[in-house]
Amino acid sequence: MANTVQGTQSFARSIGLLQHICDRASPPTLGDLLDECFFTRPTLYRLLNGLEAEGLIVQLRDKSYKPGPRLINLARSALATSDIRERARDALVRVRDQTGETVHLAVPSGDGLVYIDKIESLETVRMNSTVGTFVPLHSSGVGKAYLAALSDEELAAILDTVTLAPITPFTTIDPIKLREQITQCRAQGFVFDNQENETGIVCFGAAILDEDAKPIAAISISVPLFRLKKDISHYTAALKECVRWLSEDAI
């Protein structure tokens, strides 16, 4: 919101509106959007027409709007050109096979991360998350792993701007505690997410670094609490080996 690039106001408005429509549980109508967004009627109307003309949204019979299929087409390109996804695939499958649990790959996007790949657990009870899901920095294994891999300055800068919204009752909303967790995680080489993003699910996370030791992605192993093994090195060993391997062969 604050980061206003000069000369792109209307574009930012349109994308903000698109995001809002995508985030809605049910397709909003023009009236809904008038209440929820701070646009005047003609402006909103024009923005919607622009989005619709581009196929980014489609208008349903009842005049409500929902995300359009062109987004799926654009996303395909994004997935296809993600070299980290390609490179990590085999290693992620290996981690899944070693641990038997679901493995996620995420990359930073905005003030959080987006899952760009998922290797499913072979067990019958699984998580119901999907590729494309946005997760906050403070309440997910991949998020905290990403934070822990940043420099102190970068970390401080982000923690100052981000609000720690409670996602579950377990979510860390105290910046001090979060910082403690991150410090601890740096020492042990992985992060632990204790049901902070989804009740009943714990995660182990670690970041993938580029040649400058900057995080470019993060992976996590998600385990249903009831199935969690006592010896967590079962998970963390596989995780650490994976990120070491992927970080080393960074171009």
Partner DNA sequence: GTCGCACTGTCCACATTATGGGCAATTAGT
Partner DNA sequence: ACTAATTGCCCATAATGTGGACAGTGCGAC
Q: Which residues bind DNA (CB under 7 A)?
A: 6-11, 13, 29-31, 34, 39-43, 45-47, 63
Binds 34: which of its own copies, DNA, none (CB < 5-8 Å by kind): DNA
Question: CB of residue 52 vs DNA: minimum separation in angstroms?
Answer: 9
Closest Cα to residue 185, out of 225, 138, 224, 242?
Answer: 138
Is 160 in a helix, a strand, or coil? helix
Question: CB of residue 66 vs DNA: minimum separation in angstroms?
Answer: 13
Tokens 């100052």 -> residue: 160
Question: CB of residue 155 vs DNA: minimum separation in angstroms?
Answer: 24
- How far apart, in Å, are the Cα atoms of 89 and each of 140, 162, 204? 21, 31, 18
- How far apart (Å, rounded) are the C-alpha atoms in residues 201 and 224? 5
33-62 residues near its own copies, rule: CB under 8 A: 46-47, 49-50, 53-56
What angle is formed at CA 126 by the lines to CA 121 and CA 127, rounded to 5 degrees? 110
Select from 90-98, 108-116, 138-146, 150-158 the region that touches its own copies (CB under 8 A).
Answer: 108-116
- How far apart (Å, rounded) are the C-alpha atoms in residues 205 and 185? 10
Binds 145: which of DNA, its own copies, none (CB < 5-8 Å by kind): none
The DSSP-derived string for 39-94 is --HHHHHHHHHHHHHTTSEEE-TTS-EEE-THHHHHHHHHHHT-HHHHHHHHHHHH
**100 is a contact residue toward its own copies (CB under 8 A):** no
Q: Out of 18, 88, 92, 145, name the contact with its own copies by CB under 8 A.
A: 18
Q: Out of 30, 39, 70, 237, name the contact with its own copies by CB under 8 A.
A: 70
Pair type for strands 201-209 and 65-67: unpaired
119-178 residues near its own copies, rule: CB under 8 A: 120, 124, 126-127, 129-134
**108 is a contact residue toward its own copies (CB under 8 A):** yes
Phi, psi of 119 (to 5 degrees): -110, 115
- How far apart (Å, rounded) are the C-alpha atoms in residues 149 and 240? 13
Q: Which is nearer to DNA, 4 or 124 (CB)?
A: 4
Binds 134: which of its own copies, DNA, none (CB < 5-8 Å by kind): its own copies
Q: Which is nearer to DNA, 53 or 125 (CB)?
A: 53
Q: What share of the chain is helix, strand, coil (3-state, %, to 5)?
A: 45, 20, 35
Question: CB of residue 90 vs its own copies: minimum separation in angstroms?
Answer: 15
**20 is a contact residue toward its own copies (CB under 8 A):** no
Spatial contact of 103 and 118, defined as CB atoms under 8 Å apart = yes
Residues at the contact surface with its own copies, assessed by CB under 8 A? 3, 5-8, 10-12, 14-15, 18-19, 22-23, 27, 46-47, 49-50, 53-56, 66-82, 107-110, 114, 116, 118, 120, 124, 126-127, 129-134
